[in-house]
Amino acid sequence: MPQITVQYPAALAVGFDRRGFALAAHAAASDLISSALEGFKTRFLVLDETVVGDGNPNSHMLHAIVDILPGRPEELKTRLGKLVLGLLEAHLTIPSAYSVQVTTEIRELHRYHQRVLP
């Protein structure tokens, strides 16, 4: 059930191993939060425009939102956020001229419905 949404600018696309990140995140988070691996879903959204700080065109952002069902302790959500942050960094090659702010957000889904179609 966990859903991961990663937002990033097109400038980072070449150096971002998205599939590698998703597979690593699914496996590691599945163990951490005791959620079935087959329930994980990750989507990637390329951002048309971002502005970081003073607007330097070489400053970028990469943000992951992890939506999980409620009821997990805060300490576990903190560990999940740090895990995802580390995996984002591990799957990103940053050109030397760039600076990138990498962030994660853990959210709880309170109304979630799913159906798996054949």
The shares of helix, strand and coil residues in the chain, as percent rounded to the nearest 5, are 35, 30, 35
Question: Quick check: is 113 in a domain?
Answer: no
Domain that holds residue 73: 3-108
pLDDT single digits (tens) 16-49: 999 999 999 999 999 999 999 999 999 999 999 9
**In this predicted structure, what is the pLDDT of residue 44?**
98
Q: What is the CATH number of the domain that holds 31?
A: 3.30.429.10
Question: Quick check: is 22 in a domain?
Answer: yes
Helices (H) and strands (E) in the chain, counts: 2, 4
Burial of 68 (0-12, 13-18, 19+ CB in 10 A): buried
Question: Quick check: is 58 in a domain?
Answer: yes
Where does the pLDDT of residue 115 fall: very low under 50, low under 70, confident under 90, or very high at 90 and above? confident
pLDDT single digits (tens) 79-98: 999 999 999 999 999 999 99
Provide the domain count of the chain: 1
Where does the pLDDT of residue 112 fall: very low under 50, low under 70, confident under 90, or very high at 90 and above? confident
Question: Quick check: is 28 in a domain?
Answer: yes
DSSP assignment letter at 11: G
Question: Quick check: is 116 in a domain?
Answer: no
Question: Quick check: is 61 in a domain?
Answer: yes
Question: Quick check: is 115 in a domain?
Answer: no
For 109, phi then psi, to 5°, come to -95, 125
**In this predicted structure, what is the pLDDT of residue 76?**
97
Alpha-carbon span 27 to 22, nearest angstrom:
9
Question: Quick check: is 114 in a domain?
Answer: no
